[in-house]
Amino acid sequence: MFDSHYLPLINGRFTAFSEETFPASNAATGEELATITRSGKAEVDAAVAAAKAAFAGWAATPAAERAKLLLKVADWLEENTERLVQIDARDIGRTVFELPQDYRQAIGQYRFFAAAILTHDGWNNVVPGGWAIAKREPYGVVGQIIPWNVPSIMVSFKLAPALAAGNTVVLKPDENASLSTLELAKYLAEIFPPGVVNVVPGFGEEAGEALTAHPDVAKLAFTGSTEVGKIIAHAGASRLAPVSLELGGKSPNIVFPDIEDMDAVVDNTTFAATFCNGQSCLAGTRLFVHDDIYTEFMAKLTDAFRSIRIGSPLDPATRLGCLVSSKQGERVMKYIESGRSEARLVTGGERVEVADSQAGWFIAPTIFETGNKTTIAQEEIFGPVLSVIRWNDFDTMIHEANDIPYGLASGVYTSSLRNAMRTADRLQAGQVWVNQYVNLVDGSPFGGYKASGLGREVSKETLHMYTQLKSVMLAE
């Protein structure tokens, strides 16, 4: 299933200068899966040089030809989903139950941008004495850095629009989740001209910083923590390179008393807080439940949390796997400890042992009853930990839902269109889901308000992010 060693993809070849490596480990068992070259400045410099050399040819390739290759990537992912799901499940501890949906989402992105680029023209107009034309042109070399939680989706969000628009790319996957990306890289090397896509696995402070600081990288695109996002934004600002950022979240999920089907809302809000083992920027981790239904709702929610099946990520019956690493596990447990002192623990709160997976950080799905200003309710935890906040006054609830640095996603559950719309209007969030959660639709702009990011992915907006406008005026 794995090669014993993976190298960076630079200029169409798997090659490296560095002999340093880092391990990819099974998140549940600790077993070493493979070693990976630890890319440093030399690899990044070579990758950027290759991308720079490939740019003119790729930008001049007709959009339909570029689109054809993206469609091939989608087909390849479709054919290889099962294998890649097995790889990711071992590499990051996500469940084989959930991961196929990541691949469907990723595949959709390659197909969406293959189609969207064909209609992404500028405009032209006859003006007195001549013509005015606005052209959309790619930036050049784009440096892209992604996190570990949803690798296939992150790669698709980054590569598909950048390549469709005619940019060349140097992509740095996360050090905790490089394997499926490096497997995909083998296919990319087969079909793309050398240098168009380069992949440099490695660490943030080495390969990541070398990429963000490189003067030939014309645009930076980052998904990850808000903290690192600020570092990337500074690096871009220092040489006025545009930066797009998809960052953290602590999303409110709001339950009105007029919901028609409480069981369905309990299912949705449970899923919102625990999918991805709780390690999602989109997780609905602050649940606002109305006073009138609070007791009944909490009883059902607690049952739902307790009945989530925890187990090996490879068992198809498992619904909650393990966190990506011991570092992440310890971080989540620290938050749970702080929650115990500032809020009421309703259920969960402990590490769970799973047979044959002793190295894995399996955390029981956890609920705290709390106010909105506690640490547990304000900070992104990135584990299956939910803060429940009781509400009865609409304006106070909206104030609290917005009283957070983040603004990525949100959910509203109600049978009233008026409640849905007035809540959606006032929430400071890039996504508002009504009576559903985590439905990312190809073409629907995705991104954050406030400290959750800058720019929009998944949509035609993204092609604007990866192109710059040039006005050409012609005399008659």
| Residue 418: CB minimum distance to ligand NAD, A | 30
Tokens of 127: 């003006």
| Position 24, amino acid | A
417-426 and 394-402 helices, crossing angle to 10°: 40
Nearest to 245 by CA among 33, 456, 472: 456
CB-count burial class (<10 Å; 0-12, 13-18, 19+) for 164: buried
Task: Report H helices in 177-320.
Answer: 179-191, 209-213, 226-238, 262-274, 294-306
Q: With respect to ligand NAD, which residue has the nearer C-beta, 225 or 374?
A: 225
Answer for the pair 235, 220: CB distance below 8 angstroms, yes or no: yes
For 393-439, the DSSP string reads -HHHHHHHHH-SSEES--EEE-S-HHHHHHHHHH---S--EES----
Per-residue burial over 28-37, b = 16 or more CB atoms within 10 Å of its CB, e = otherwise: bbeeebbebb
Which residues would be at the binding site for ligand NAD (CB under 6 A)?
145-149, 172, 174-175, 203-205, 208-209, 212, 223-225, 228, 231-232, 246-249, 281, 380, 382, 408, 448, 453
Q: Is 246 a catalytic residue?
A: yes
- Dihedral sign computed on CA atoms, order 282, 288, 293, 299: positive
Q: How far apart are alpha carbons 144 and 201 in whole angstroms? A: 12
| Residue 248: CB minimum distance to ligand NAD, A | 3
Residue matched to tokens 């790889």: 87
CA distances from 92 to 87, 144, 271 (A): 9, 20, 19
Is residue 144 classed as helix, strand or coil in its secondary structure?
strand
Residue of 242, 186, 221 lying closest to 458 (CA atoms)? 221
Q: How long a stretch of residues is the chain? A: 476
User: Which residue type does 372 have?
Assistant: N
Q: Whole-angstrom Cα distance, residue 33 to residue 340?
A: 37
Taking the least distance from each CB to ligand NAD, the nearer of 229 and 313 is 229
Question: How many CB atoms are closer than 10 A to CB 81?
Answer: 18
DSSP state at residue 205: I
Contact 105, 153 (CB under 8 A): yes
Q: How does DSSP classify residue 309?
A: P
CA distance 149 to 410: 19
Single-letter code of the amino acid located at 453: G
**Collapsed DSSP state (helix, strand, coil) of residue 202:** coil
Q: Which of 232, 228, 271 is nearest to 380 (CA)?
A: 228
- Among residues 175, 246, 400, 457, which one is catalytic? 246
Catalytic machinery residues: 246
